[in-house]
C-alpha cells in the first residue's frame, strides 16, 4: 500500500497559520520565506555598502599611488584579491558577533531569522565563512562567469526546498525564530 505522500488521491499537505505547507515545516523551525531572506540581505548590504565603497576607493588609490598601472594584470589581480579581503573584513566586523553567538546577521536578527545546520544547530563561524560565504566572494571576481554563477545561486531559492546553492554547499538552512 502507498504512503499518504505517495498517494495521488491524498488531500493536499496541511497548511499552518503562516501559510507554510508541512513540506517546509521542520522540527527545528519553519523555513524563512523568500521575502524574509531577500529583505535581510538588503539590510545587510545597505549597512555594508558605505564601508565597502570607501575601502575599495582607498585600495584603488593606494595601488595607483604605489605605482601600479590600472590596466596591468597585477593591478587587476590585486584589486580583486583586495576586494575579497575587504568584503570578508567588513562582513566579519558587522556580523561576526551575531553569527558566532546566534547564527544571524544584522538583517536576519531584525527579521527574526537564523542560519542553522540541517540538524538545527548553530553553525560555527569558520564553517559559515569558508563554506557559505567565501566561495561566492571569490567566485564573483571571475569575469563574466562569476557573476552569472552567483545569479544562479540566488535564483536557486525558487526551488521547492527554498534554499540557495550556498545553503546546499554549507549544509545550512535559514529558519524563522520567535
Whether 16 contacts 51, CB under 8 Å: no
**What are the distances in angstroms from CA 75 to CA 60, 62, 71, 88, 144?**
9, 11, 7, 20, 18
- Residue 7: per-residue pLDDT: 59
User: How many residues appear in the chain?
Assistant: 178
Q: Rounded to whole angstroms, how far apart are CA atoms 33 and 38?
A: 9
- Residue 10: per-residue pLDDT: 54
Whether 32 contacts 176, CB under 8 Å: yes
- Residue 29: per-residue pLDDT: 75
Chain centroid to CA 53: how far? 20
Q: Could you list the beta-strand ranges (E) of 18-82.
A: 25-26, 29-30
Tens of pLDDT along 33-64? 999 999 999 999 999 999 999 999 999 999 99
**What are the distances in angstroms from CA 52 to CA 89, 96, 136?**
10, 16, 16
Sign of the alpha-carbon dihedral angle for 162, 137, 107, 98: positive
Q: How much is the pTM?
A: 0.77
| For the chain, domain boundaries | 29-176
- Residue 160: per-residue pLDDT: 86
What φ, ψ does residue 29 adopt, rounded to 5°?
135, 170
- Residue 18: per-residue pLDDT: 47
Spell out, as residue ranges, where the chain has pLDDT lower than 50: 1-2, 4, 14-27
Amino acid at each position: 500500500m502507498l504512503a499518504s505522500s505517495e498517494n495521488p488521491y491524498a488531500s493536499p499537505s496541511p497548511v499552518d497559520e503562516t501559510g507554510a505547507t508541512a513540506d517546509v515545516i521542520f522540527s527545528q523551525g519553519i523555513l524563512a520565506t523568500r521575502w524574509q531572506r531577500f529583505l535581510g540581505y538588503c539590510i545587510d548590504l545597505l549597512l555594508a555598502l558605505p564601508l565597502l565603497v570607501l575601502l575599495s576607493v582607498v585600495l584603488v588609490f593606494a595601488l595607483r599611488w604605489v605605482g601600479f598601472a590600472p590596466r596591468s594584470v597585477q593591478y587587476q589581480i590585486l584589486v580583486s584579491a583586495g576586494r575579497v579581503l575587504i568584503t570578508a573584513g567588513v562582513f566579519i566586523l558587522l556580523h561576526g558577533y551575531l553569527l558566532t553567538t546566534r547564527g544571524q546577521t544584522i538583517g536576519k536578527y531584525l527579521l527574526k531569522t537564523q542560519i542553522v545546520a540541517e540538524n538545527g544547530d548553530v553553525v560555527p563561524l569558520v564553517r559559515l565563512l569558508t563554506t557559505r560565504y567565501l566561495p561566492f566572494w571569490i567566485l564573483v571576481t571571475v569575469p563574466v562567469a562569476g557573476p552569472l554563477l552567483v545569479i544562479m545561486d540566488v535564483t536557486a531559492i525558487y526551488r521547492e526546498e527554498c534554499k540557495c546553492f550556498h545553503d546546499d554547499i554549507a549544509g545550512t538552512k535559514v529558519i524563522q525564530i520567535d
